[in-house]
Amino acid sequence: MSRIGRLPIQIPKGVTVTLAGGKVTIKGPKGQLELVNRPEVAIESRDNVITVSSRADGLDRQAGAYHGMTRALLQNMITGVTQGYEKKLEINGVGYNAKIQGKEVILAMGFSHPVKVAIPTGIQVECPQPTQILIRGCDRQAVGELAARIRKIRKPEPYKGKGIKYDTETIRRKAGKAFGSA
């Protein structure tokens, strides 16, 4: 049985949880999220507490994994609709920049053309400076996926550190070729 899955989830004020037909809907001040429930896992909501339990016996490893994963997803959904999630990206390099145009992020990353990335619904993207991108939303997976897609366009390289990186990321730098005269 999953240790994480056994922990109850507290429902804060202003958040409503609806269980109907194998689907969990969570509404809060930042938005609404839905989760389709796996048949191996039972979810109950009672007295502002959500409990997750496994329908299989303790010998089924897959059911235990779904048990813990479902509990973690529900906790992330509640955190998302109350506080939201945020990822910050930094752009390093001469001439590298970003701007928002309509529903797209336009990136100038040293290619012969600007790179356009579509912004999914439910996600807010800002560029407080041309070298910073701020991604916000209530869905943790969607925020992380968009940040990863943008970072993938030009990953930071280890010699000069040019590229797109997360604000908390540290780039391991390598020494370049050293020429010595004999």
pLDDT in tens, 49-72: 999 988 877 667 888 889 999 999
Residue 107: count of CB within 10 angstroms of its CB: 21
- Residues in the chain, total: 182
What total of structural domains would you count in the chain?
A: 2
Q: Are residues 109 and 158 in the same domain?
A: yes
Cα(85)–Cα(157) distance, integer angstroms? 27
Asked whether the predicted pLDDT for residue 178 surpasses 80, the reply is: no
Q: Are residues 100 and 142 in the same domain?
A: yes
In terms of residue numbers, what domain contains 52? 3-82
Final residue in a domain of this structure, among 82, 110, 129: 82
CATH number, domain with residue 108: 3.90.930.12
Cα(141)–Cα(85) distance, integer angstroms? 9
pTM value surpassing 0.75: yes
Encode pLDDT of 139-167 as tens digits: 999 999 999 999 999 999 999 989 999 99
13-50 burial, b if ≥16 CB within 10 A, otherwise e?
A: eebebeeeeeebebebebeebebebbebbebebeeeeb
